[in-house]
Amino acid sequence: MSERVLTFPVENFRKLPNPYQQRDEEKKSDDAYPQMYFAICDVKEIPEDIPMATNPRNQSMNNGVAKKIKASLVNTSEPFFYLLNRGLVISAASVHYDNNSGKLSITFSDEEVHGDVDGGHTYKAILEKRKELDKGQQFVKLEILTGVEDIFQSLAAARNTSTQVQDKSIAELENRFDFIKETIKNEAFCNDVYFRENDKGDIDVADIISMLTLFNLEKYPDINAFPVISYSSKKKCIDYYIDAHKNNEDNPNANPYFRMKNIMIDIFKLYDLLEVNIGNYYKEKNSSGRYGSIKGVSCPKDNTKKFKSKFYKNEMDYLSPTGFLYPILGAFRALVKDDGVEYSWKKDPFKIMEKVAPSLVETTIERHRSLGNNAQLVGKDVGNWKTLYMTIALEMLNE
């Protein structure tokens, strides 16, 4: 979307200092750190066009939660809505408060990461019911976050865990994950995957579905389309998965995710191989370079404690942004063929990984630098996805 600035009056405004920035001896600017702001706003003053594409929930205003919010809002005998309700969490490009006018300006520039992150039911309830209120009767709390683009997916997931039943939980109740469970049942990580909210485990089935979507040849058959959505929206990947399952219940082989079952374990192993060795791949092309110094890459604070890879818990020296990993893994879609019954590999993906991974990593890091060292932009950069895909395709031809 083009840049949008919403300006409106608020009763109170405060910036909460970033504790890491306060300890920063280099005194970097605010732009180098996520920032948190709070405001209290009259519900009559809330703008009507706060972007909502960032909210991972679909807001049904007829369920019990929405009805309670609306009832609390119009109950002016208890004017404590801003205390009883969690309010709105908003991701933004920038925030400005004018002390003289008491007006707050919020700038949105990217519809995928800027907008309402949490509080969608509250926002819609306010827009629906505030005509029944007078100014000054009810207020709402706003939490505005800037500089969170790199962690947006984690932020949205963390702030939306209170929903009673999420899409994937419904899918689990409808047994839509059974063939995934069957496929991974002999893998070491099978008991680490959770399919419903609040289940035990440390691998979200949404992550699995996002990775499988990287190889969905029905939606991304060739070099003319790229599964950037795998990186930018887990919810949309789940929607794709559920729709494919619902639309092909009578004929599972028509479901592209079902046809992946023969290559599914290889996908997870490829991810593990990349995740564990990406630092070494980088060194092969940059012998004097330090992968751990790249912005977005994490190193263990204690050298005696290693990170563990997502699926097979192998030790790792670095924790890499998914904005690096997903486009590289997605490039291996060039090696997949579909005969209408099952997916298979045209060439051994592990041998191809061994040959071209250093080049794939080098390309990714170069793009990272050209995009201002922003891993989130790398994950959404179609040009990067295309270059990586072509590298795999050319290597396959050379084979």
22: pLDDT strictly greater than 90: no
Distance CA(371)–CA(383), nearest Å, equals 12
Task: Give me the pLDDT at residue 163, please.
Answer: 44
Grade residue 53 by pLDDT with cuts at 50, 70 and 90: confident
235: pLDDT strictly greater than 90: no
178 in the same domain as 68: no
Higher pLDDT, 214 or 147: 214
Higher pLDDT, 358 or 74: 358
User: Which two structure tokens, joined as six digits, stand for 88?
Assistant: 């709105």
- Looking at residues 382-392, what average pLDDT do you find? 97
Distance CA(360)–CA(386), nearest Å, equals 11
Q: Are 261 and 253 in contact (CB under 8 A)?
A: no
Distance CA(267)–CA(292), nearest Å, equals 25
What per-residue string of b and e applies to 165-184 under the rule 16 or more CB within 10 Å gives b? ebbbbebbeeebbebbeebb
What is the average pLDDT score of the chain? 89
Distance CA(103)–CA(96), nearest Å, equals 9
171 in the same domain as 154: no
Q: For 29-38, 53-62, 109-118, 325-334, which range has the lowest pLDDT when averaged over its residues?
A: 53-62
202 in the same domain as 332: yes
Q: Which of 266, 168, 178 is nearest to 215 (CA)?
A: 266
- Looking at residues 376-396, what average pLDDT do you find? 95
232 in the same domain as 84: no
75: pLDDT strictly greater than 90: no
Grade residue 383 by pLDDT with cuts at 50, 70 and 90: very high
Distance CA(127)–CA(40), nearest Å, equals 16
Q: For 30-34, 105-109, 175-179, 245-249, which range has the lowest pLDDT when averaged over its residues?
A: 30-34
- Looking at residues 134-152, what average pLDDT do you find? 91
Higher pLDDT, 160 or 294: 294
Task: Give me the pLDDT at residue 59, please.
Answer: 66
356 in the same domain as 282: yes
Kindly give the interhelix angle for 205-213 and 322-330, rounded to the nearest 10 degrees. Answer: 40
42: pLDDT strictly greater than 70: yes
Q: Which of 336, 378, 380 is nearest to 361 (CA)?
A: 378
241 in the same domain as 93: no
Q: Which domain holds residue 98?
A: 4-159
Task: Give me the pLDDT at residue 165, please.
Answer: 41
User: Which two structure tokens, joined as six digits, stand for 50?
Assistant: 């706060």
Distance CA(150)–CA(128), nearest Å, equals 33
Spell out the SS3 assignment of the chain. CCCEEEEEECCEEEEECCHHHHCCCCCCCHHHCCEEEEEEEECCCCCCCCCCCCCCCCCCCCCHHHHHHHHHHHCCCCCCHHHHCCCEEEEECEEEEECCCCEEEEEECCCCCCEEEECHHHHHHHHHHHHHCCCCCCEEEEEEEECCHHHHHHHHHHHCCCCCCCHHHHHHHCCCCHHHHHHHCCCCCHHHEECCCCCCCCEEHHHHHHHHHCCCCCCCCCCCCCCCHHHHCHHHHHHHHHHHHHHCCCCHHHCHHHHHHHCHHHHHHHHHHHHHHHHHHHHHHCCCCCHHHCCCCECCCCCCCCEECCCCCCEECCECCHHHHHHHHHHHHHHEEECCCCEEECCCHHHHHHHHHHHHHHHHHHHHHHCCCCHHHHHHCHHHHHHHHHHHHHHHHHC
Distance CA(185)–CA(43), nearest Å, equals 51
- Looking at residues 117-122, what average pLDDT do you find? 89
Higher pLDDT, 12 or 67: 12
Q: Are 282 and 361 in contact (CB under 8 A)?
A: yes
Higher pLDDT, 21 or 89: 89
151 in the same domain as 55: yes
Q: Count how many domains the chain has.
A: 2
- Looking at residues 246-256, what average pLDDT do you find? 91
281: pLDDT strictly greater than 80: yes
Given 142, 159, 176, the domain boundary residue is: 159
CA angle 208, 230, 290 (to 5 degrees): 90
Q: What are the contacts of 94-99 at 24+ separation with CB within 8 A? A: 94/146, 95/35, 95/37, 95/144, 95/146, 97/10, 97/13, 97/37, 97/39
- Looking at residues 320-344, what average pLDDT do you find? 96
Of the spans 60-74, 112-126, 213-227, which averages the highest pLDDT?
213-227
182 in the same domain as 60: no
Distance CA(257)–CA(219), nearest Å, equals 11
144-171 pLDDT per residue, tens? 999 988 787 777 767 765 543 467 766 7
Given 134, 159, 184, the domain boundary residue is: 159
Residues listed for the chain: 399
Grade residue 82 by pLDDT with cuts at 50, 70 and 90: very high
221 in the same domain as 82: no
Pairing of strands 203-204, 193-194: parallel
200 in the same domain as 92: no
Higher pLDDT, 197 or 75: 75
Grade residue 173 by pLDDT with cuts at 50, 70 and 90: low
- Looking at residues 303-318, what average pLDDT do you find? 89
Q: For 39-43, 144-148, 194-198, which range has the lowest pLDDT when averaged over its residues?
A: 194-198
373 in the same domain as 355: yes
315 in the same domain as 171: yes
339: pLDDT strictly greater than 50: yes
349: pLDDT strictly greater than 80: yes
User: Which two structure tokens, joined as six digits, stand for 99?
Assistant: 């002390």
Rg of the Cα atoms in the chain: 23
Q: For 49-58, 111-120, 162-171, which range has the lowest pLDDT when averaged over its residues?
A: 162-171
Given 159, 192, 217, the domain boundary residue is: 159
